Structure 1
Amino acid sequence: MSEQPDRLVVGLAYQAGPDPRIAKGADGGRDFFTPRELELASRTYLRKGTGLITGLFHEDGTEGHAQVVASYIYRNPEPWLIDGVVVAKQGDWVLEAILDEPAWQMVQKGQITGWSPQGSAIRRSRSNA
């Protein structure tokens, strides 16, 4: 009898603060959460339930491919590294989930490479924040 993989994935849900590699987005804006704003957003996500982020590619009707088992803010002042690559830094939002078999196969093939929370916000300048 072969052992089945647990299909657990861990990944960055959202980075705290601006990414220094990105000057502005495709829409001309530069949106990001401060660490405090991100922590509040992650709490709102949990209060609403974890079914909000388990679909595929922001497409309706694809829900239920992942069961979120952990959602947390990475608090260690030392960056989390895997093979020399930064996975998370202090203040980032991390999600862990167990995938169903179709989603697991897509991860194995490189068709799914990360989380992409979907939501809405009101853009405001930092000087008015």
Structure 2
Amino acid sequence: PRLTVLGTLRTSRPSRKPVETMASISVASDPINTAAVKLALPDIDEENKEKLRRLIINNHNSFAFKTIELTHTTLVKHVIDTQGQGSIRQRAYRTSPKQKEIAKNIIEELMQNKIIRYSMSPWAAPI
């Protein structure tokens, strides 16, 4: 299947990290940093945070930790039932210059990795 780990490659130099090759994608197998779980979920007790951390570590191949690891699938199709309603017109959100720069960088990264594309659709997000 697509994105299946094919094996681990090790270089003869001990300073290099092992690399996992998944189909046509190569990613360094760094230890998974789950500190973000603690920061993102401040209201969850430590026991459940630890369970979530273990779940992520045990199933790390199912998660994308970098934008470049995201991909698309043709295995699942979906339809959004708008119940005959047209799109809702909205103005672009008010953002500070710093937020605009961050959004621009994120959008460029997503476009480079073909996660999103330019659209003039009336359903497009106003950002």
Is this a same-fold pair by TM over 0.5? no
TM-score, normalised with respect to structure 1: 0.22
Larger Cα Rg: Structure 1 or Structure 2?
2
Decide which structure has greater strand share.
1
TM-score, normalised with respect to structure 2: 0.23
